[in-house]
Structure 1
Amino acid sequence: MLRTSLQLALVVGIMSGLADCSVAAEQLKTNTPPEGFRALFNGKDLDGWKGLVGSPKSRPKMSADELAKAQVKADAKMRKHWTVVDGILVFDGKGDSLCTVKDYRDFELFVDFKLLTMGDSGIYLRGTPQVQIWDPKKRNCGSGGLHNNQKHPNKPLVRADKPIGEWNTLRILMVGELVTVWLNGELVVDKTVMENFWERDKPIYPTGQIELQNHGNDLYFRNIYIKELE
């Protein structure tokens, strides 16, 4: 009986140790960029991010003083609705997009996201909408498509979304006007022109900020990594 008890205690101890190792490995993995990439989100705070001011069309028309004042106001609003909880970016659905402080040209981007039922979100590339993220039930269409395209394809090639409440991974490659998207490892957009939503008669802007957008629902992001391309 004593031997059995000791064996049971040993097994429990080993299992507990394995669980601790698994948790530690997951914590090490989360928000830690792979080789060649840089973390846009550090897992601790909103450093490197700012609130939304206008659009790529309207911002250049603002004076430096107007832009600075608008940015202070936008940052204050942003911090009321975007928070960091246990290494996760959390949005309450009541504010505006979260934007990178830096502008980007050509890049490869990884983003993990998690939605609630009927969630509706997106990733703006160079400040332009968008790689679509939503509950497929909203439009009977999966995530990952270039939703605002009018002339070029705007729907994903396949539906690759995981069930609502689970983490999904987007991989986005943007080179010039062409965007390629993988969702959970499956190709959903293949070298497709991303149109200029703000000025339909012009090509997409050569540089711009990356934005995390949402329509009125709780939303979660983590593991946001970027590699700028030559």
Structure 2
Amino acid sequence: MRSIRLLAPLLLILCGSDPARGDSLFNGVDLTGWHADIPANDDADEPAESFVVRNGMLVSLGEPRGHLITDASHRDYRLVVEYRFAGEPGNCGVLVHSSTPRALYKMFPASIEVQMMHENAGDFWCIHEDLAVPDMLERRGGPKGKWGGKKGELRRIKNLTDGSENPVGEWNTMVIECRGDTVTVWVNGDLVNAGHDSTVSEGQIALQAEGSEVEFRKLDLTRLEP
């Protein structure tokens, strides 16, 4: 674990520019550049907000469930996300290469999800897309014939570490690097997942409302050379 922590900053330097110089996807004031897709609001007389701006932070309220999606599509980038669970820890995620809305369970857009669920940060969940990692048989949890991104298939790819998250209430830093057909993830300096041969390499970025309140204070994107 110690060696992974020491290598992470070096890898970030070798891979490109300092993520601190990225352009923010969140302006700290409102949700300009984003739109929400909340299925429960389709027939609601008074649609409820799942995402708000509070004290300069973007907040996923957790309910009603859905996604906050960038208006623009992105490829070849490093995304730095600083987040924490505001109360009881639970589930959330960052979806990269998002495209078709409500592709799975009439809720989740086609994408590669980078999991933020408490004690599982850095898992991949494939949603009508797919990617590969080393040790697929062990980390995919079943035989190759069942791997995939659709209902009934083995969509989860377990992360590489345990204990990378900070204690509940403290801020976590997740770095997601998407370059070509690869997706690499660090949590608090630990390399927690690295996928390749992704079936998608471009799309929108989405945040989840998935049952727990989560605060985001940084969503900075740095473009990378292909």
The two structures have a TM-score, normalised by structure 1, of 0.64
**Contact in 2 for aligned 1:117/1:135 (Cα 8 Å):** no
Alpha carbon RMSD of aligned pairs, Å? 2.7
Distance change (3 Å), C-alpha of 1:147 and 1:42: same
Q: What does the per-residue CA deviation read over 1:29-56, in whole Å, with 9 as the maximum and x for residues that have no partner?
A: xxxx832x101001111111112389xx
User: Partners of 1:213 and 1:53 in 2: how far apart?
Assistant: 10
Provide the residue aligned with 2:210 in structure 1.
Answer: 215
Is there any run of 5+ residues in structure 2 with no aligned partner, and where?
A: 1-18, 99-110, 134-138, 140-156
Counterparts of 1:35-74 in structure 2, within 5 Å, are 35=21, 37-52=22-37
- The 1:83/1:135 distance shift into structure 2, 3 A limit, reads same
Q: Tell me the secondary structure at the aligned position of residue 59 of structure 2.
A: strand
Percent of matched pairs sharing the same residue: 33
Q: Distance in 1 between matches of 2:89 and 2:215?
A: 14
Per the alignment, residue 57 of structure 2 pairs with 88
The AA in structure 1 aligned to 2:160 is: L
1:225 paired residue number? 220
- Counting helix residues as a fraction of each chain, which structure ranks higher? 1
Kept after mapping to 2: 8 A contact 1:179/1:194: no
Q: Distance in 2 between matches of 1:80 and 1:131?
A: 23
Residues 220, 194 of structure 1: alpha-carbon distance in 2 compared, 3 angstrom cutoff: farther
Measured against aligned partners, the alpha-carbon deviations of 1:64-92 in whole angstroms (never above 9, x if no partner) come to xxxxxxxx99xx95x72211111111122
Change (3 A) 1:111 1:210: same
- 1:158 shift after superposition: 1.2
Matching residue's letter, 1:189 = N
Q: Measured at CA, do residues 47 and 183 of structure 1 come closer, stay the same or move farther in structure 2, by a change above 3 Å?
A: same
The question of whether the paired residues in 2 share the 8 Å contact of 1:99 and 1:211 is answered with yes
Counterpart amino acid of 2:29?
A: K
Deviations 1:91-126 (A, max 9, x none): 221131111111011111000111243410111001
- The alpha-carbon distance between structure 1 residues 173 and 151, as it changes in their structure 2 partners (threshold 3 A), is closer
Letter in 2 for 1:155: K
In 1, are the aligned partners of 2:38 and 2:67 still within 8 Å (CA)?
no
CA shift for structure 1 position 177: 1.8
State the partner residue of 1:34.
20
Task: Find the counterpart in structure 2 of residue 111 from structure 1.
Answer: 81
CA contact (8 A) 2:131 2:196 kept: no
Which aligned pairs between 1:1-230 and structure 2 lie closer than 5 A?
34-35=20-21, 37-52=22-37, 77=47, 80-95=49-64, 96-115=66-85, 116-127=87-98, 128-136=111-119, 142-148=120-126, 152=133, 153=139, 154-159=157-162, 160-190=164-194, 192-193=195-196, 195=198, 203-204=199-200, 206-230=201-225
**Aligned-pair distance for 1:173?**
0.5
Q: Equivalent residue for 1:58? A: none
What CA distance in whole angstroms lies between the structure 1 residues aligned with 2:62 and 2:28?
A: 20
Please report how far the alpha carbon of residue 150 of structure 1 lies from its aligned counterpart in structure 2 after TM superposition. 7.9
Which of the pair has more CA radius of gyration?
1
AA in 2 matched with 1:47: T
Q: C-alpha deviations, 1:141-181, integer Å up to 9, x for none?
A: x3112133686452221120111111111011111221111
Larger RCO, structures 1/2 (Cα 8 Å, 6+ apart): 2
TM-score (norm 2): 0.65
